Amino acid sequence: MQAALSEAEAAARRGEVPVGAILVRDGAVIAAAGNRVEELTDPTAHAEMLALRAATAALGQVRLEDCDLYVTLEPCPMCAAAISLARIRRLYFGAYDPKSGGVEHGARVFDHPTCHHKPESYGGLEEARAAALLRDFFKARR
Q: What's the min distance (Å) between Cβ of 68 and Zn ion? A: 17
Which is nearer to Zn ion, 5 or 33 (by Cβ)?
33
C-alpha distances out from residue 142 to 46, 133, 135, 137, 139, Å: 22, 15, 11, 9, 5
| Closer CB to Zn ion, 30 or 83, in the complex | 83
- Given the rule CB under 5 A, which residues bind Zn ion? 46, 76, 79
Nearer to Zn ion, 51 or 67 (CB): 51
Q: Can you count the helices (H) and strands (E) in the chain?
A: 5, 5
Residues known to be catalytic = 48
Instruction: For the CB of residue 54, give the shortest distance to Zn ion in the complex, in Å.
Output: 15
Q: Rounded to whole angstroms, how far apart are CA atoms 38 and 127?
A: 25
- Nearest approach, Cβ of 19 to Zn ion (angstroms)? 8
Contacts by residues 38-41 (CB-CB < 8 Å, ≥ 24 positions apart): 38/14, 39/14
User: Which of 124, 100, 105, 132 lies closest to 18 in space, CA to CA?
Assistant: 132
Residue nearest to Zn ion (CB): 79
